[in-house]
Structure 1
């Protein structure tokens, strides 16, 4: 499909030891129905065959640029890797695709279609476009679609500017990284991809928060990519560390930007900073049977009633009730049971995973 506005899209892909998945990732970009793209792949000193696979694709297609680190920087320096790749980008819009994830065939076409649905003046005020996602569960070989639970258009479109902070500063990250297009000028304005503290081990959530103050968002009600879940490889201690780092980031962001946050949002959120992340931390501590630390977190959030702040989705209200009950019973079983029920009720299973499955999807 031809559009009046056909900007170059730069897709940044970080990869490390993805020899089993990187070809699938690259092929999902090669088969895009929108053709004005470039792909910048940075390999963080893989020890497997990943760089050789990428190099083979890069030699065949000039739209693929390959950067290879001599030494592994690891998850504590993701921002350095992403910003190294960003320097090579020539596009007006920046995409984000990890080396084991895949795009749907019309992913870029749908995003460009959305940008064409608004006029040039409106596009200037968009800092980020985002959409929906699916998952590839590697432990069960199941493909499913994530139920999108955030229905407030003001929040998901960050309209007025800053509205998305109503969720972000609670610790709710409703944006799926592989679905985004980021306005390159606005990304450069905030200094590129942000990772603070280093222990947060991600750049998406901190970067979204800063982009919230630079322009509106544009939400697209389409499945734009699938991200791969390796559940067994994620330890509970890792999740606990991430939750603590997110809380630290939220507190820093608030201190740095309090004067820029709209007054109404500021007054609403002051007493609730990091609430949902703290609830997630409480859940992870219970799952890890660390009940002493869990009690401290519980005391901090037990009297926070978000009904005065926002209309919570029923899933979040149930999560609070079940997590508090699990602490009282000192049992993680109820949390595991609730998660299983939630997935069965809210997530739509598409079928069994097969490599390169995206080529046969009619999304």
Structure 2
């Protein structure tokens, strides 16, 4: 990333210390990928302040070292926690989002990255047109062994609102994680028990984010999703998330009822 911190922040309006968007990123063994992710965040061109909140779960590779170098270069933008003990993906993810200061949270794991420098600005502009909508997402390009494949979640030729039943029945892969922007208040309202014990934590984020105003689909591909990266601390691949959510989809009536009485 060649832009300096001041060059990134010069277009921001308002108090630079009060980010509108928090880019929340969890990492584990992402040494080969994290630079590409961080560069794509720092390339964002916005008229509002944003922060990058990174939590590394005691990676055995050089992930923490790479993050530390970025944090030293961008101390007013990047806030990193480099754990000395592995706590697991769910706890790391929950505490990562709790550190966010922004009104909105943009999600992207450390092995994925964004491809459009206007992504944050585009999504925030669209979400402001739908004030009752707490979550937005968009299509992403699948990357397998370094080769771009299918466009995932390309549901419509125009913007659309999907209801919470559609999100639940769509399963975990319905909304790609690196495409999500969600209001922090919606994340804060998710009971920890849903996330700590969830087979796929981002699935519940999608559901709770779409409960009140649906999920806003934006018809523009703006991210890369590495579908075959193995998360060694959980012993599952990203593609296996569809298996984990299958039983939840079968229990749709009970799940919808539980969500209704929990809010």
> Scaled by the length of structure 1, what TM-score is found?
0.58
Structure 2 counterparts to residues 261-276 of structure 1, below 5 A:
none
Query: Of 141, 147, 150, which aligns to 2:155?
Result: 150
Asked if 1:112 corresponds to 2:94, the answer is no
Corresponding residue for 2:62? 49
Asked if 1:131 corresponds to 2:145, the answer is no
Q: Distance in 2 between matches of 1:238 and 1:16?
A: 13
**CA deviation after TM superposition for structure 1 residue 135, in Å:** 2.3
Q: Distance in 2 between matches of 1:172 and 1:249?
A: 10
Q: Distance in 2 between matches of 1:227 and 1:65?
A: 23
> Aligned residues, how many?
242
Corresponding residue for 1:255? 254
Unaligned ranges ≥5, structure 2: 1-10
Query: Of 99, 104, 107, which aligns to 2:110?
Result: 99
Q: Distance in 2 between matches of 1:40 and 1:239?
A: 22
State the superposition RMSD in angstroms.
3.4
Corresponding residue for 1:88? 99
Asked if 1:58 corresponds to 2:57, the answer is no
Instruction: State whether residues 157 and 164 of structure 1, in contact with CA within 8 Å, keep that contact through their aligned partners in structure 2.
Output: no
Corresponding residue for 1:22? 34
**CA deviation after TM superposition for structure 1 residue 216, in Å:** 2.6
Q: Distance in 1 between matches of 2:193 and 2:182?
A: 11
Q: Could you say which structure has the higher helix fraction?
A: 1
Unaligned ranges ≥5, structure 1: 262-363
Q: Distance in 2 between matches of 1:240 and 1:148?
A: 14
**CA deviation after TM superposition for structure 1 residue 48, in Å:** 1.1
**CA deviation after TM superposition for structure 1 residue 8, in Å:** 1.1
**CA deviation after TM superposition for structure 1 residue 253, in Å:** 6.0
Structure 2 counterparts to residues 204-223 of structure 1, below 5 A:
204-223=202-221
The verdict on how the C-alpha distance between 1:192 and 1:44 changes in structure 2, with shifts beyond 3 A counting, is same
Give runs of ≥4 in structure 1 deviating > 4 Å: 1-4, 231-234, 237-244
> Considering only CA atoms, is the larger Rg found in Structure 1 or Structure 2?
1
**CA deviation after TM superposition for structure 1 residue 10, in Å:** 0.4
**CA deviation after TM superposition for structure 1 residue 50, in Å:** 0.8
Q: Which 10-residue stretch deviates more, 252-261 or 17-26?
A: 252-261
